[in-house]
Chains A and B, each alone.
Chain A
Amino acid sequence: MTLDLIKDILLATVPLLIIFPTMFALTTWVERKALARIQNRIGPNKVGVPLTPYGGKLSLFGLGQPAADGIKMLFKENIVPTGADRLFHFLAPILSLIPSMLVLCFLPLDFPWLNGEQNSVKAFMLDGAVIFFFAITGLNTLAVFMAGWASRNKYSLLGGMRAIAQMVSYEIPLVLSAVVVVMIVGSLNADNIAKAQEGWNWFVFQPWGLAAFVIFFIGALAETNRSPFDLPEAESEIIAGYFTEYSGFKFALFFLGEYIAMFAISGLAVTLFLGAGAGPGVESLSWLKIFWFLTKVCILIGVMIWLRGTLPRLRVDQLMGFAWKFLLPLSILNIFVAGFAWHIKDANKETATSVVVWIASIIILYAAAKGLDRVNRAKVKPRTYQYGE
């Protein structure tokens, strides 16, 4: 009985604990490489895998870099500022990692081959998986604030405050865009949402789904402090933000937590809009589901890296204005559009109607977005430079 329970727990959690940290290590390398190439540099290309203790190594385009970074992080000195609150300074990195790790369990990833039989193992079978996801990622904010406050450094505190303001603001459009999917599927369960999109019925192919996906993706960028929303760690303004005073392993934990949160929220985006594990060949081979899921997550991460290499950082007021004056009204409108589209389709099942609804909702959403953009831009004047040019 207990042995079975332990076995089940291990079967459900260990794959997650292997897959995602491995992906983290590879992503740091891919990110550095990609950013370097975008800037016409080479990127890390030296560290390889040593073959013998006396030299000779397999270079593999610097693939050994994550391992080298990890070892370096582990052996670095742990510096705690004199004025810091030692307990909170110690707890913050751990607290930032826990929610990110925890929410991985809510993703519709089941590993059918692990326990031999066909019934799959999952860490959580919750009806409210989606809303649980948001509740628990919200706790990340507290860890960030804790780090900022405990460091007893103005830059850290500023970073922490920025992080709170940003995460609280962007959580609203994030949740509202997810509400659309929940509303259409009629369930908060991630597995049901995945089931509703089987085949090619991905929600991103619907106008409201596309709008919601874009809003969700922007919100996700802000929520995980990714560029162009990386104000809490804006190195040109506030050093490193909330983890200014962190070094060594604690810093590594923050880093890990941030990337795992990225994977988790990309996973949720894939679940909600990109058909979860749907893809060619899943009917015959069930493990392909996991493959497709992770592939889609990787593509989203790739887009995040690409955006990081492209966009400059926003200003604080622009950041707040964008969330409250653009994303929020648009996501509320999107809920209405989705509701109407769904009702009309429900009443009338002809293809012609659905095409008309499809086009009409695209036009409404685009016009609304454009109008909001206009309204928000009304006061923005072209920039004048005092010293430049």
Chain B
Amino acid sequence: MSVLGSGIFKGMAVTLKNFVGSYFDKERLTTNEYAWQANDKLPERAGDYPKEEAEQLSDTTTVTQYSRNFPMLLHDAGEPMDTVRCVACQICERECPPQCIYIEKSTEKKERSGNKAQFYPATFDIDVSVCMSCQICVEVCPFDAIVMNSQFELSTPSRFGELLLRRDDLLKSNDYYYKIHPEEASARDKRIADEKAAKEAKKKAAEAAKKKAAEAKSKSEAEAKAKEEAEAASKPTEPSDTPPAESTATPSTEPPATPTTEPEKEGSAE
């Protein structure tokens, strides 16, 4: 039997420990001094925030690698627009809860970093005054093209305009990503490599299987036909056997109906 209100006192003890501890235990306070001050380089006026990658590094590497702020677009090594990963599929635009992404697809396809020709974003704007840093765009992107930046020095003197980040402001190299979020970046690249390897392995297996399947096809088709005929022959007797049970069984007949459509879908996708 616990003492009434002991939970509250326990909680208060925890917060008290944190409160007092933060004055004596330097380990607890993980906050860094303000980044600009650390580099002794205060901006002359609001709006002088860096847009270039090299400049942003002085900013973003001062915060912990797990921090995130607003999205950025990844490109691989080389000219940004030649290696940009985004294919302007507009999934993120649709998923973004506050609708702060605006994408315009390019008119023609273009080949990038050895992949097959795809569209690329002619315009890609993110209104960071609206973005709520939810990272949903990152989650939904099938091409690992959009990730979170951790740049925080974004104040501008104007209310509109400068907070609208354009495509060229958003483009950041994969190297930069490695520098600001080392763990996340390597995990992501490993996953991409794994997926690629798995895909290739699957492709090979599929090719091998195709040959086999072609041989087996004629055989199995004949078998299936025979089976169907046999089933059709046996079916008419079933309902007449159990007429009273049918009314109770009606709800249970529905679920089996759906699986029959699924194999079809899979078949059509392949």
- Contact residues of A with B, CB < 8 Å? 34, 37-42, 46, 306-307, 309-311, 366, 369-370, 373
Question: Are the C-beta atoms of A37 and B12 separated by less than 8 Å?
Answer: no
Question: Are the C-beta atoms of A37 and B22 separated by less than 8 Å?
Answer: yes
Question: Are the C-beta atoms of A38 and B18 separated by less than 8 Å?
Answer: yes
From B11, which residue of chain A is reached at the shortest CB distance?
A310
Is B31 at the interface (CB under 8 A from chain A)?
yes
In the complex, 9 of the A-B residue pairs with CB atoms within 8 angstroms, ordered by the A residue number, are: A34-B19, A37-B18, A38-B19, A40-B22, A40-B29, A40-B30, A41-B22, A41-B31, A306-B15
Is B16 at the interface (CB under 8 A from chain A)?
yes
Question: Are the C-beta atoms of A42 and B8 separated by less than 8 Å?
Answer: no
Interface residues of B in 134-163 (CB under 8 A from A): none
Given A37-B23, A366-B4, A369-B4, decide whether A310 and B15 contact each other with a Cβ distance below 8 A: yes
Given the complex of chains A and B, what is the CA–CA distance between A177 and B16 in angstroms?
A: 29
Is B14 at the interface (CB under 8 A from chain A)?
yes
Given the complex of chains A and B, what is the CA–CA distance between A310 and B14 in angstroms?
A: 8
Expressed in whole angstroms, the minimum distance between the Cβ of A282 and any Cβ of chain B is 30
From A312, which residue of chain B is reached at the shortest CB distance?
B11
List of A residues within 8 angstroms of B8 by Cβ: 310-311
Given A34-B19, A40-B18, A373-B4, decide whether A307 and B29 contact each other with a Cβ distance below 8 A: no
B interface residues, how many (CB within 8 angstroms): 17
Given A41-B29, A42-B31, A369-B4, decide whether A306 and B22 contact each other with a Cβ distance below 8 A: no
List of A residues within 8 angstroms of B41 by Cβ: none
Interface residues of B in 14-28 (CB under 8 A from A): 14-16, 18-19, 21-23, 28
Question: Are the C-beta atoms of B12 and A307 separated by less than 8 Å?
Answer: yes
Expressed in whole angstroms, the minimum distance between the Cβ of B37 and any Cβ of chain A is 10
Question: Are the C-beta atoms of B29 and A42 separated by less than 8 Å?
Answer: yes
Given A37-B22, A40-B21, A309-B19; 15 other pairs, CB 8 A cutoff: A34-B19, A37-B18, A37-B19, A38-B19, A38-B22, A40-B22, A40-B28, A41-B31, A42-B31, A46-B34, A306-B12, A309-B15, A310-B8, A310-B11, A310-B12
List of B residues within 8 angstroms of A369 by Cβ: 4
Expressed in whole angstroms, the minimum distance between the Cβ of A262 and any Cβ of chain B is 19
List of B residues within 8 angstroms of A370 by Cβ: 4
Expressed in whole angstroms, the minimum distance between the Cβ of B133 and any Cβ of chain A is 15
Expressed in whole angstroms, the minimum distance between the Cβ of A294 and any Cβ of chain B is 23
Given the complex of chains A and B, what is the CA–CA distance between A368 and B51 in angstroms?
A: 65
Given the complex of chains A and B, what is the CA–CA distance between A369 and B4 in angstroms?
A: 8
Given the complex of chains A and B, what is the CA–CA distance between A37 and B16 in angstroms?
A: 9
Shortest Cβ-Cβ A-B pairs, 3 listed? A310-B11, A310-B15, A40-B28
- Contact residues of B with A, CB < 8 Å? 4, 8, 11-12, 14-16, 18-19, 21-23, 28-31, 34
Given the complex of chains A and B, what is the CA–CA distance between A149 and B21 in angstroms?
A: 45
Listed residue (B18, B23, B30, B34) with the most chain A CB atoms within 10 angstroms of its CB: B18
Listed residue (B14, B22, B30) with the most chain A CB atoms within 10 angstroms of its CB: B22
Given the complex of chains A and B, what is the CA–CA distance between A137 and B15 in angstroms?
A: 31
Given the complex of chains A and B, what is the CA–CA distance between A37 and B15 in angstroms?
A: 9
From A303, which residue of chain B is reached at the shortest CB distance?
B12
List of A residues within 8 angstroms of B16 by Cβ: 306
List of A residues within 8 angstroms of B14 by Cβ: 310
Question: Are the C-beta atoms of A38 and B31 separated by less than 8 Å?
Answer: no
Expressed in whole angstroms, the minimum distance between the Cβ of A127 and any Cβ of chain B is 36
List of B residues within 8 angstroms of A37 by Cβ: 18-19, 22-23
Given A366-B4, A369-B4, decide whether A39 and B12 contact each other with a Cβ distance below 8 A: no
List of B residues within 8 angstroms of A39 by Cβ: 18
Expressed in whole angstroms, the minimum distance between the Cβ of B117 and any Cβ of chain A is 40
From A41, which residue of chain B is reached at the shortest CB distance?
B31
Given the complex of chains A and B, what is the CA–CA distance between A373 and B11 in angstroms?
A: 19
Listed residue (A34, A37, A41) with the most chain B CB atoms within 10 angstroms of its CB: A37
Expressed in whole angstroms, the minimum distance between the Cβ of B198 and any Cβ of chain A is 27
List of A residues within 8 angstroms of B23 by Cβ: 37
Given the complex of chains A and B, what is the CA–CA distance between A34 and B20 in angstroms?
A: 10
Expressed in whole angstroms, the minimum distance between the Cβ of B28 and any Cβ of chain A is 5
List of B residues within 8 angstroms of A311 by Cβ: 8, 11
List of B residues within 8 angstroms of A366 by Cβ: 4
Given the complex of chains A and B, what is the CA–CA distance between A199 and B82 in angstroms?
A: 83
From A370, which residue of chain B is reached at the shortest CB distance?
B4
Given the complex of chains A and B, what is the CA–CA distance between A311 and B8 in angstroms?
A: 8
Given the complex of chains A and B, what is the CA–CA distance between A309 and B11 in angstroms?
A: 9
Expressed in whole angstroms, the minimum distance between the Cβ of B159 and any Cβ of chain A is 10
Expressed in whole angstroms, the minimum distance between the Cβ of B63 and any Cβ of chain A is 14
List of B residues within 8 angstroms of A310 by Cβ: 8, 11-12, 14-15
List of A residues within 8 angstroms of B19 by Cβ: 34, 37-38, 306, 309
From B16, which residue of chain A is reached at the shortest CB distance?
A306
List of A residues within 8 angstroms of B31 by Cβ: 41-42
Listed residue (B8, B18, B19, B21) with the most chain A CB atoms within 10 angstroms of its CB: B19
Expressed in whole angstroms, the minimum distance between the Cβ of B175 and any Cβ of chain A is 32
List of B residues within 8 angstroms of A373 by Cβ: 4
Listed residue (A42, A307, A310, A311) with the most chain B CB atoms within 10 angstroms of its CB: A310
Question: Are the C-beta atoms of B4 and A38 separated by less than 8 Å?
Answer: no
Given A366-B4, A369-B4, A373-B4, decide whether A38 and B29 contact each other with a Cβ distance below 8 A: no
Expressed in whole angstroms, the minimum distance between the Cβ of B9 and any Cβ of chain A is 10
Expressed in whole angstroms, the minimum distance between the Cβ of B92 and any Cβ of chain A is 23
Expressed in whole angstroms, the minimum distance between the Cβ of A377 and any Cβ of chain B is 11
From A36, which residue of chain B is reached at the shortest CB distance?
B22
Given the complex of chains A and B, what is the CA–CA distance between A369 and B6 in angstroms?
A: 13
List of A residues within 8 angstroms of B18 by Cβ: 37-40
From B28, which residue of chain A is reached at the shortest CB distance?
A40
Given the complex of chains A and B, what is the CA–CA distance between A46 and B14 in angstroms?
A: 28
Given the complex of chains A and B, what is the CA–CA distance between A112 and B267 in angstroms?
A: 93
